[in-house]
Structures are given as structure tokens and as C-alpha cells.
A and B are shown apart, each in its own frame.
Chain A
Amino acid sequence: MIEIHNIHKSFGGKKVLDGISGVFESGKVNLLLGSSGTGKSVLLKCIVGLIKPDLGSVTFDGTYFTNNKLDIRQEIRRKIGMLFQGSALFDSMTVEENVEFPLKMLTDMSKKERQERVDFCLKRVGLEGSNKKMPAEISGGMKKRVGIARAIAPNCTYLFCDEPNSGLDPLTSIKIDMLIKEITEEYNITTIIVTHDMNSVIEIGDKIFFLYEGKKLWEGTKDDIMETDIPELNEFIFANRLMRDAKKLEDEEHREEEKERLAEEGRQS
């Protein structure tokens, strides 16, 4: 479980995060939702420690992270896996070497143990047989999968994903989303995903935090999000025509049901 409390961050006088608090539960996919430029990625980077917040704290399973001693922060960081927007695979290494890298750097595993773990992780993300390929030789979706394999290789406790389906086609996006969901549940990982994709919300969002102009405007489950009356959130959700049509259809169905119910009541009376 990750807790954040009153996170503030400004860049050159411009407030990007304005007192964000929240609890991200383990074994669940937590989504940071919002339009571009609302501070989602900055919040994610504040949580993992890539950006130091001006104010506020982050706690990983009860251990204070922000401003704690370097070795404690290092210890926590070694439990973190992160999937970057552009995958951030090391160009000079093969797929296999990329996945092996954190094992080599962070564990005392023997070469044989590392190879077994690499093969297992690549198989888990559906990339068996791609071991010797270079990042430049694989597709965007495959790069994301390698990124996930690299993140989970050292048995991470916390998984952070920065827009995991950006630049991917809808089908591959759903596959990546489902893979993250499965891994989260399988290994009881605390997963935080930055996204502005409503498909991800519907498919995998266990808990959603909606950010707007650096503030957390709403939090809840994917079932609650369609019923909310917050204008900014509704504007975001129904910006997509497909979502508007779906909502219209749902409202019509709802009206029909209401009509039928009233007619039924009338007949009974």
C-alpha cells in the first residue's frame, strides 16, 4: 500500500500539484486519470522519487520515503518496477539483457538463476523467443511488454506505469492493460497507472483518482465514475463521442426501464 499526503510541487512559480493526498491499495490497479498537463506524470515521479515534492510525504507500506535516509530510499526503490511512456529500454542491450539488467544490478543471483528468471518473465509477457532481439527491432507493443518484464523481473512490490498504452493501437492497448491487471492480481502488487484513456478505466481501473489542474477532484471506482455529477470529470469522460453515445444509450435504457416500471405499477394499481 502506498500513501501520499498533501503533495505540492511547483515549477518556476507555476503550481503543478496542489495538495494531493490518497491511498493506493495493494493487489489493485490504481489509475491517475486526467487531461494532459494536469500533473499526473509529475505526481507519479514525485511518488517514485524522480522529482522531489516541495511539500508532502509518500509512504510505502508504512515506511516513510520522501526525505528519508538515502539507504532506506534505496531499499524501497529496489522494490519498485516502472514502465515508462516510451518504454525506456536500454538501446545498447538485447531484450534479454534489458530484463536481466535489474537482476544483475540488484540481486546476487547466479547467471543460471538470472537466465531462468528472464525466460520466465519474457514468457509471462508473451515474448518467448525474442530474447536476442534489439529494442530497435521490435514493435511499440513488444517494447511495452519488455518494459513490464523488466519491471517485474526483480519481484517488484510496486509497479508504476506512465501511460502504458500511449502510441499503441486499441487492441494492443487492451492487451497491455490486461497484462498489467493480471500481474497486479497474481503477485499482489500495488500498481499505479497514469492514463487519460477511458478504455483503461473501464477495463482495469479498480480505483480511480481524477486530477484536474493539479488537484485531486474525485476518487472512486470505475462503477462510480459514470454516475458522478462533477462537471470537469463528466467533460473529460464524455469528450469521446463513443462514450457520449454509450451514455445516451444507457440513459435511454434507463428511461425505458423506468417507463416500464411505472406502467407495471399502474397496471397493478
Chain B
Amino acid sequence: MLQHFGKYILFMSTLFVRGESPRIIFNRTIDEAILIGINSIFIVAIVSTFIGAVTCVQVSYNLTSALIPRSTIGFMVREMTILELAPTITSIVLAGKVGSNIAGGLGTMQITEQVDALEVMGINSASYLVLPKVLAALLVFPMLVILSMFLSIAGGYIAGTLSGEITAQEYISGIREDFIPYNITFALIKSVVFAYLISTISSFRGYYTSGGALEVGAASTTAVTNSVIAVLIADFICAQLLL
């Protein structure tokens, strides 16, 4: 465990030693951002909309007291979405999708000697391959989380109004109630932390793959499980430190 952690720290340091020119890193970051971002919009949209919808229905189901106004449903959907569901669930979904993609891609490049080909040319393969992925994740994850927040709240609105659990006016009144702007900042900070963890852990697992196709599959699985665990631990630490 400690040995892996030490290797991970050393791996991180190689990203910044003899890096490629800023122009190359910028272009590669944009390419990676498109791959990570555009290709993840659909899954993030589906997951977020349904999470918002389910949250709305379940909060409504539990809200039995006549003393509590129905607008509380909107309030709770907003709070749960912004504070927890949008950043954390989106990141867990992305750990599965983006993390396995990064680990699988790098692992395949490693076992087919494409990484060696870069090294022989005098290119820092870690910097060239991994740094743009990390930068792209840092750039794109917050955007996806903002999208997720919006769609989740919209999902709650659609589910609540269509099922007759809450009126549109009550829901909108609820989501505007006692709004704390810092919660958005908190969610975005979390998304950046999660982006860093997912992209670096997955890259680390993929980059150090050796063997064959079986090991690439194993590296992808390990990357996802490690990333998810890291996200959950970081989630707790962020909540403790920042709230």
C-alpha cells in the first residue's frame, strides 16, 4: 500500500519534469477535454435527471407532516443535489466511464510498446500522455457537475409536477428558499478534487500496466475501484474541512 502510494507520488512528479511545450500540452488538453466532456454528457444527463426525479418523489413520500410546507421538497432536492448528489454521484459515474477509459487506453499503449516508442523519441511519455488528461479532467468535471446540478433539479421539477406531488410554484419557491451561494463553491471545489483523484489514479494504474490484455482489463477495474474509494474518502474530508 505504502509502496504504491510512494510510486504514485513519484509518478506525479514525472508529469512536470522535462514536459513538452505549452502549445502541445494545450492542444492535447483540448482534445482530451472533448473526449472526456462531450462523451460523458449523455450518461451524466441521464443519471442526474433520474436522481433528481427520484429524490423529489422519495422526499415527498417521507414528508407526511401537514406542518411542513410542500415547498420543502424543492428545498431538499436542491440541497441534496448541490451538496452531494451532483458532485459525488457524477464523479462516481465518471470514475467508471472516464477512469476505465484512461486506464485501459494507457495500459494498451504500454503493452503495445507505444509508450516506449515515445520515450525512445526523447518525449516524456508521462507528461505527454497523462498531464493533458489531468488538466482536461480538472477543466471538464466542474462543467459536468454544473450540468448535473441543473438537470437534477429539473428532473425533480418534472417528476414532482407530473406526478402531482408538488405544484410548480411550490417547487420553484422551495429551490429559491434560503439559498447559500457558498454551497455551489463547495461543490465545485469537490469536483476539482475528484477530477484530480480520478484522472491521476486511473492514469497511474494504466501507465504501470505490464503483461497482456488480461492485465489491461485488471488495471481498468483496479483504476475504477481505487478512484471510487478515493472519491468517497475525499468527499468526507472535504465535508469536514469546508463545511
Contacts and interface: CB of A to CB of B under 8 A. Distances in A.
Interface of A: 45, 48-50, 70, 74-75, 77-78, 80, 82, 84-86, 88-91, 102, 105-106, 160
Nearest to B18: A70
B123 A80 contact: no
Contacts of B116: 45, 50, 82, 84, 88
Given A80-B120, A88-B114, 11 more contacts: A50-B120, A78-B121, A80-B122, A82-B116, A82-B117, A90-B114, A90-B117, A91-B112, A105-B24, A105-B123, A160-B120
A100 to B, nearest CB: 13
A106 B113 contact: no
A40 to B, nearest CB: 15
Contacts, number: 49
Give the 4 A-B CB pairs with smallest separation, nearest first.
A77-B122, A88-B113, A88-B117, A84-B113
A86 B114 CA distance: 9
Nearest to B119: A50
B101 to A, nearest CB: 12
A82 B120 contact: yes
A91 B113 CA distance: 11
B149 to A, nearest CB: 33
8 contacts: A49-B120, A77-B122, A85-B113, A86-B112, A88-B112, A88-B114, A102-B121, A105-B20
A86 B117 CA distance: 11
A139 B123 CA distance: 27
Contacts of A102: 121
Of listed B20, B24, B112, B122, residue having the most chain A CB within 10 A: B122
Given A70-B18, A105-B20, A105-B24, A77 B120 contact: yes
Nearest to A77: B122
A125 B213 CA distance: 31
B220 to A, nearest CB: 16
Given A86-B112, A88-B113, A105 B121 contact: yes
Nearest to A78: B122
A160 to B, nearest CB: 8
A102 B20 CA distance: 13
B119 A106 contact: no
A229 to B, nearest CB: 38
Nearest to A71: B18
Contacts of A84: 113, 116-117
A12 to B, nearest CB: 13
B68 to A, nearest CB: 55
B93 to A, nearest CB: 24
A89 B118 CA distance: 10
A257 B123 CA distance: 59
Nearest to A147: B117
Contacts of A49: 119-120
